[in-house]
Amino acid sequence: MAVIEGSVTSLGIQIVYVIVGVFCVVKALTLLGSYRKMKKRYDEIPGFEKKDYHWLTGNIHKFPKETEKRLELHRSLMINNPRVCRMWLGPFVANIFVHHPDSIKRILKSSEPKARGLGGSYEYLLPWLGEGLLVSNGDRWARSRRLLTPAFHFDILRPYVDIYNEASDLLLDKMASDVKKGRSFELFGNISMCTLDIILRCAFSYENDCQVKGETHPYVVAVNELSETLLHRTRIPLLHPDFIFYLTSEGRRFRRNCNFVHSVTEEIIAKRKQTLKEKKFQPKPRYLDFLDILLSARDETGQGLSDAEIRDEADTFLFEGHDTTASGITWTLFALAGHPHFQAKVKGEIDDVSKGRKCKDIQWEDLPKLQYLTQCIKEGMRLHSPVPFIQRRLKKEIEMPDCTLPGGALVTLHLYNLHHNPHVWTDPDTYDPERFNPDTVRELDTYSFIPFSAGSRNCIGQHFAMNEEKVVIARILQRYTLALDPKHTVQKKFSAVLRSEHGIHVTITPREDTATDNQ
């Protein structure tokens, strides 16, 4: 009897094994079939040829480490595929690049969400910026957008012009010091400190010695490392899963940097709350800042932002409000330093606007009059896009002129390529502010130039950024003539924001007509 029972038990176990085995085989075949179907569909989208595909790395192995060489590869892909280009991030994730107005407008008009999940760069921003405006989707984003829009009303922005001028004064003092020492001036690092100074004061009424500390300022070091790590991680599929990434030294450094930038923001918020609690804060004598709006914002139910939401939005604004504007200012000055004729026209316009005034500050009323400077800034942002790309995750299938993008697709709107697309722009590598002459710009497709994105999720702070860029550039060109340092080679560096690999060095010469008054 025991033998029979043992045989029955053994048979039952064997049957279970067979059933489990069959289930696993069926499941594996189903997944394999789904994978082949998915890969076939994505491979129908124009892009890399089959010979360039590797079973493990996809097409990633084709991209050089150096930014300039990667840009050359992107350029060749864009020329061969004017609207859409597909590449594989490893064996399972396809990344669809779009770089033509016809394609980009179909994405941005459809209000597709920011790319989260596997391969989506915004997923990796969560530990840093949380669910702030840059990263959030759906109802969370819509509520935050409504609550924060008042922070960028013209009446709020107007007093910030004084801060732009005061921060520019400190920057000009640093430039004067280098003039006396007879050495070239590094633009990127110094302007980054200036824009950080501005955002700390405009957003949080927080004064810091960041322009004195320079690029060694720990916040700037942390932000630069975070940006570079994010881009590197998106290119390495093995680092996509959190449990692997945070085991690496790079992942641990990323976490430390996140904790540090959070501590900076939390300290600022805590000090303001303490001031309010002690009733020492008198809001009437000074401008409202971004933190005032965050702390006082209420939705239709009377609910304000939670502590976590306030920190997320503050972290987002602190990052986006200094890094992108620094890039826009620096690359525009770089372009003007290489084109004396355009620089001279900008100087003439600035002189006309401030003519007859003893104070050389740029005033709020001057900003709309700086039309040619605006053209130069826009052309600078076209040629050197401060934000090189943004991403979306398609909720549904979208028809393109040349193909169909499936629902769930990871789509990269390659703004740098869009702004250099020879199918869109004539002589795209040439700096020519006349492209944005009011008469010429009417002929441009609205989606051919989108440095601040477009559609419902365009940059909420674009007017703040443009005003700041106008003031800082105008104040510099009021006093100095810039020329490129022939001893220094400028190389682009791709990260979340377009930087330079080894800085941007210019020679600065005091203008004869203003040197006596301003030195």
Which parts are annotated binding residues for heme? Answer: 459
Whether residue 75 contacts residue 414, with contact meaning beta carbons closer than 8 Å, is answered with no
Whether residue 496 contacts residue 232, with contact meaning beta carbons closer than 8 Å, is answered with no
Q: Which backbone phi and psi does 370 adopt, to 5 degrees?
A: -85, 60
Among 136, 32, 48, smallest CA distance to 85 is for 48
Among 159, 152, 119, smallest CA distance to 133 is for 152
Indicate the helix (H) or strand (E) that contains 96.
strand 93-98
Indicate the helix (H) or strand (E) that contains 27.
helix 2-43
Whether residue 498 contacts residue 395, with contact meaning beta carbons closer than 8 Å, is answered with no
DSSP letter at 58 equals B
b (16+ CB within 10 A) / e for 68-98: eebbeebbebbeebbbbbbbbbbeebbbbbb
Q: Which backbone phi and psi does 71 adopt, to 5 degrees?
A: -60, -40
Give the torsion through C-alpha atoms of 173, 178, 182, 183, to 10 deg: -150
343: number of Cβ within 10 Å = 19
Question: Token digits for 221?
Answer: 């070091």
Instruction: Give bridge partners of residue 500 from the DSSP assignment.
Output: 492
| SS3 state at 507 | strand
Instruction: Give bridge partners of residue 89 from the DSSP assignment.
Output: 58, 93
Residues at the binding site are 459
Interatomic CA distance for residues 371 and 187, integer angstroms: 24
**Rg (the chain; Cα; Å):** 26
Judging by DSSP bridges, how do beta strands 93-98 and 410-414 pair with one another? parallel
Among 204, 257, 206, smallest CA distance to 230 is for 257
Interatomic CA distance for residues 478 and 481, integer angstroms: 8
User: Look-up: residue for tokens 């004729």?
Assistant: 341
